[in-house]
Amino acid sequence: GLKKWVEVGNSGVFRPELLLPMGLPENVSVIAWGLSLERPTMIKYGIKNIRELMGHRVNLQMVYDSPLCRLDV
């Protein structure tokens, strides 16, 4: 429905400076992966900045007023 390729599964390695405040030793590597459903949602609803979709800048009225995201419409 988006007429373009969109990455929906991603992965990566945490940077060491992000792990130190959690008390992990410097020689520890941490990987993460997951579904990136925010990317197709941003494209579908024309959201340019992810902070408008997630985090403290979310417009809650948009959440209340919007139907479920359906990519087949």
* Residue type at 47 in one-letter notation: I
Q: How far apart are CA 53 and CA 40, in angstroms?
A: 12
Helix (H) and strand (E) counts for the chain?
A: 3, 2
Q: List the domain boundaries for the chain.
A: 8-63
Does the global pTM surpass 0.75? Answer: no
Q: Who wins on pLDDT, 34 or 73?
A: 34
Q: How far apart are CA 59 and CA 73, in angstroms?
A: 23
Q: Is the pLDDT of residue 1 over 70?
A: no
| Stretch 31-42: mean pLDDT | 81
Q: Is the pLDDT of residue 67 over 70?
A: no
Q: How far apart are CA 49 and CA 38, in angstroms?
A: 11
| Stretch 44-58: mean pLDDT | 80
pLDDT at 22: 85
Q: For 9-22, write each residue's pLDDT tens digit.
A: 778 888 888 888 88
